[in-house]
Amino acid sequence: MSIARVIIRAIHDTDLVKVLTRLGLYEGVVEGRYRCFVCGERITLDNIGGLFKSRDGKINFVCNNMKCLMTAAEITSKINKE
């Protein structure tokens, strides 16, 4: 069994609103327009687990469910290897 190394950049809770605003995503999160890329759960400020950029440059949200976070980590690891 091989273990993949994944670099995770963290955003502190106190900076989350600033980052989302800078990316133009804050209002969409507050209004419930985004869903988890993995499970489809509606993303809120309370359950946001992460963001990642897909191959096409689109920013995708992931909820704070550990299974979804692990899946997103695998996806970003593959994207970064390309």
Q: What is the pTM of this model?
A: 0.83
pLDDT digits (tens, 9 = 90+) for 11-65: 777 889 999 999 999 999 999 999 999 999 999 999 999 999 888 989 999 999 9
Amino acid, single-letter form, for residue 64: N
Domains annotated for the chain, with CATH where assigned, are 13-81 (2.30.170)
pLDDT confidence of residue 32: 95
- Pick the residue with more confidence: 43 or 8? 43
pLDDT confidence of residue 5: 61
Buried b (16+ CB within 10 A) or exposed e, 48-69: bbbbbeeeeeeebbbbeeeebb
**C-beta separation of 44 from 53 below 8 A:** no
